[in-house]
Structure 1
Amino acid sequence: MWQTISYVSTVDPSLNDGDMEKLFEFVKLKNNELKITGILMYSDGNFLQVLEGKKDIIDSLFNKIKQDSRHYNIIKIFDRAIVNPCFSKYHSNFTVVGESYDHSELQTFLREEKSFNPDNYKSISYLANKFMKLS
């Protein structure tokens, strides 16, 4: 069974650019190695992450994420079973997702949210757009 979890969190202000670059590279490599798909975005001192993968792997990873001292105020947006992932691989960069990023997978994710989670879609869409700096 596949699972998806999404959350937002506040980045520890002691992290510098070099720390962030190392974190993003490690997360991208490790998640792709574990066959986890999704995205990690950073904006204005906050993370927004979507994780998709086998339930046991996602649950274990999220427990580790909750213990990570590099961020706090973790707010889980959703945690649910999925049939098919929206992302083809794991994406992360120490930049705000901008116009040069191919938004098609993120847009697919948002369409899925609109159908499966209509009560929270407006909030999720708002957050994603703030992280992409599109609104």
Structure 2
Amino acid sequence: MLKTICYISDSCQDESLTALKALYAQAKKNNSKYNITGVLIYSNENFLQVLEGDSDSVDATFKRISLDRRHKNIFKVINIDIQQRIFEDYNFGFTIVNDSKELDKLYEYLEWLRKAENTLANKVVNMVENFIAQKLPKG
């Protein structure tokens, strides 16, 4: 069974570019290892992440993330079973959005999703777009 979890959290510190690159590399490696797709956005000391994949893998991944001391105030926004992945076709699976080029690609993908008229996809799209609008300048 497939599952998606989307959460937001506060960083415990203003992450340096070096620290973020290390975090992104580790997240991408771990998520590939467990066949997790999704997106991770960091801005202004906040994270938004969507994880999707096998239910056990997503739950285990979220548990590891929730124990990570680099962030706090973790709030699960979505935690449901799904029929299909939303981000599977987005940039080969798991993507980190940390620059305007990736942000533009994400906007294009979100617009494509919106046209698919999938209720869950549209909820995720709206959530991601709201987070981006509040946290990141459009590129």
Range into which the TM-score falls when normalised by the shorter chain: 0.7 to 0.9
1:98 aligns with 2:93: no
- Secondary structure (helix, strand or coil) at the match of 1:87 reads coil
Q: CA deviation at 1:43?
A: 1.1
Q: Is the 8 A contact 1:40 1:93 kept in 2?
A: yes
- Secondary structure (helix, strand or coil) at the match of 1:106 reads helix
Return the alpha-carbon distance in structure 2 between the equivalents of residues 23 and 75 of structure 1. Answer: 19
Q: CA deviation at 1:55?
A: 0.1
Q: Is the 8 A contact 1:10 1:47 kept in 2?
A: yes
Partner of 2:68: 68
- Secondary structure (helix, strand or coil) at the match of 2:85 reads coil
Q: Is the 8 A contact 2:38 2:50 kept in 1?
A: yes
Q: Is the 8 A contact 1:110 1:125 kept in 2?
A: no
Q: CA deviation at 1:107?
A: 3.7
1:109/1:38 CA distance change after superposition, 3 Å: farther
RMSD: 3.0
For 1:67-115, what per-residue CA distance to the aligned partner results, in whole angstroms no more than 9, with x for missing partners? 100111111111001111011200014436433x253443455667972
Q: Is the 8 A contact 1:113 1:121 kept in 2?
A: no
Return the alpha-carbon distance in structure 1 between the equivalents of residues 49 and 117 of structure 2. Answer: 14
List gaps (5 residues or longer) in structure 1.
none
TM-score by length of 2: 0.78
Return the alpha-carbon distance in structure 2 between the equivalents of residues 77 and 128 of structure 1. Answer: 15
Q: CA deviation at 1:117?
A: 8.2
For 1:42-80, what per-residue CA distance to the aligned partner results, in whole angstroms no more than 9, with x for missing partners? 111111100000000001111111110011111111100
Partner of 2:30: 30
Return the alpha-carbon distance in structure 2 between the equivalents of residues 113 and 63 of structure 1. Answer: 31
Q: Is the 8 A contact 2:15 2:45 kept in 1?
A: no
Alignment: residue pair count: 134
